[in-house]
């Protein structure tokens, strides 16, 4: 048993979907469970549908949804012949669920509607790929993951109900060669769609690998493997052939867009190796991530743009102690906020966050009774794991540094963009 995860970039065009059989044929003697993300920018487009629907601009929401329909129907027309009508009928059924929802005035919180609409992206992509592979002679079955993966009702960042999910998965009959299902989504016990957090398809794949005791999980990406920096931002990046689970958790914590932060633990618990390979050239070695500790790693660079620094100052000049810190973290939890950097002083706290305007507005409203508040925007956060003195000096040369934290392994610097 192997679990494969194909991201949106691997199925964002007719040509890339047509490349999937070339990869699967190399594993024709294996039993594969294939987890698929939404195609290309579909998730972003569906987010715009939700946003306009919630603002009650239904005309705009419907127009955006029509564009998504046309894009997917155009792909099926290019890929399919005798299974075209059957596939399109299934796609229309998914779209009709959103059409019906758009007729109803929103009465629940935004996150609820986000999950009901955005989850459709994965249903569309897996439907098209399943029909295409069947027509190409690669027999498979398509499962609706919402019947298997059960979660609480914490919409947009749902928590897995492991006992129910495990029971459902064990009871589900898998295809002896290839089973296809969706990443990123699940459902409550009441049948309401949920999502597992942005980029949660990696996590979905790890859940399947854990419960099914898979030999391995392979994530197929549009890069050679895990690089020490973003190849779109740096010209001289290098491939890292091996990484430990612990190192990847650290990288994810600091914002490296390689593996979803929740992905590692289910694999670590069962010592299931994770491979990151290129779907553009499957012959390349890629990266293996396992329990084995790896020494002498190159510097790993992560840059997060559009950061905000919130300065908190106690109103009565009292020390920042246990009570205000506890209150602060309680608010973080309630608002689902993960700070990227925190620094405390005697009577002040500085918090670096991604620039989510709505979240920051809610956060400052909650904190205004405890602190006086100042805010700085247009900042960039640099993190270097396994830094060298030369690299540190090169990266921070002529930067207007606002905040700096440094340990033996890691340096973080916040500066003006």
Q: pLDDT tens digits for 246-295?
A: 999 999 889 887 787 789 999 999 999 999 999 999 999 999 999 999 99
Strand, coil or helix: what is 141?
strand
Q: Can you give the pLDDT at residue 358? A: 86
Question: 227 pLDDT exceeds 80?
Answer: yes
Same domain, 313 and 286: no
Same domain, 266 and 375: no
Q: Cα(119)–Cα(281) distance, rounded to whole angstroms? A: 29
pTM of the model: 0.89
**pLDDT 10s digits, 100-128:** 999 999 999 999 999 999 999 999 999 99
Same domain, 282 and 322: no
Same domain, 308 and 283: no
Question: 172 pLDDT exceeds 90?
Answer: yes
Residue 314: domain span: 300-416
Same domain, 26 and 174: yes
Same domain, 344 and 224: no
**Strand bridging mode 348-354 / 300-314:** antiparallel
Q: Cα(249)–Cα(289) distance, rounded to whole angstroms? A: 11
- State which of 290, 308, 323 marks the end of a domain: 290
Percentage of the chain surpassing pLDDT 70?
100
| Residue 265 neighbours by CB distance under 10 Å | 13
- State which of 228, 258, 290 marks the end of a domain: 290
In a domain, 95, yes or no: yes
Same domain, 231 and 372: no
Same domain, 65 and 120: yes
Same domain, 282 and 233: yes
Same domain, 380 and 252: no
Q: Which residues contact 264 (CB under 8 A, 6 or more apart)?
A: 206, 245, 248, 249, 252, 274, 289
Number of structural domains in the chain: 2
State the chain's mean pLDDT as an integer: 95
- State which of 290, 311, 344 marks the end of a domain: 290
In a domain, 295, yes or no: no
Question: 225 pLDDT exceeds 80?
Answer: yes
CATH number, position 390? 3.30.2130.10
Q: Nearest 5°: phi and psi at 186?
A: -155, -155
Residues paired with 403 in a beta bridge: 414
Chain-centroid distance, C-alpha 318: 40
Going from the C-alpha of 359 to that of each of 25, 83, 334, 362, 405, the distances in angstroms are 46, 45, 11, 5, 25
């Amino acid at each position: 048993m192997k679990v494969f995860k194909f991201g949106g970039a691997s199925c964002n065009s007719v040509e890339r979907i047509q490349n999937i059989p070339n990869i699967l044929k190399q594993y024709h003697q294996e039993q594969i469970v294939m987890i698929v993300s939404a195609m290309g920018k579909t998730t972003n487009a569906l987010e715009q549908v939700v946003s306009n629907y919630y603002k009650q601009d239904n005309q705009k929401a419907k127009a955006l949804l029509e564009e998504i329909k046309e894009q997917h129907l155009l792909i099926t027309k290019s890929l399919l012949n005798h299974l075209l009508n059957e596939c399109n009928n299934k796609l229309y059924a998914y779209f009709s669920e959103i059409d019906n929802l758009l007729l109803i005035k929103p009465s629940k919180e935004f996150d609820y509607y986000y999950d009901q609409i955005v989850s459709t992206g994965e249903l569309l992509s897996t439907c098209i790929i399943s029909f295409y592979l069947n027509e190409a002679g690669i027999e498979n079955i398509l499962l609706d993951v919402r019947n298997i993966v059960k979660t609480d009702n914490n919409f947009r960042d749902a928590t897995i109900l492991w006992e129910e999910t495990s029971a459902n998965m064990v009871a589900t009959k898998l295809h002896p060669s290839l089973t296809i299902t969706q990443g990123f989504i699940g459902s409550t016990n009441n049948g309401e769609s949920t999502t597992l957090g942005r980029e949660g398809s990696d996590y979905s794949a790890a859940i399947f690998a854990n419960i099914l005791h898979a030999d391995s999980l392979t994530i197929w990406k549009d890069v050679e493997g895990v690089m020490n920096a973003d190849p779109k931002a740096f010209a001289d990046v290098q491939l890292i052939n091996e990484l430990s689970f612990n190192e990847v958790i650290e990288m994810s914590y600091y914002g490296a867009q390689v593996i979803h932060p929740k992905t590692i633990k289910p694999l670590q618990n069962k010592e299931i190796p994770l491979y990151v390979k290129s779907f553009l050239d499957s012959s390349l070695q890629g990266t293996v991530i396992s329990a084995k500790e790896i020494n002498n790693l190159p510097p790993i660079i992560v840059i997060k743009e559009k950061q905000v620094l919130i300065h908190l100052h106690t109103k009565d000049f009292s020390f920042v102690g246990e009570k205000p810190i506890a209150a602060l973290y309680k608010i973080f939890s309630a608002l689902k906020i993960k700070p990227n950097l925190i620094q405390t002083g005697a009577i002040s706290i500085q918090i670096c966050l991604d620039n989510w305007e709505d979240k920051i507005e809610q956060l400052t409203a909650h904190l205004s009774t405890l602190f006086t508040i100042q805010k700085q925007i247009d900042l960039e956060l640099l993190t270097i794991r396994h830094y060298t003195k030369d690299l540190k000096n090169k990266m921070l040369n002529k930067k207007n540094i606002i905040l700096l934290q440094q340990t033996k392994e890691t340096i973080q610097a916040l500066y003006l963009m």
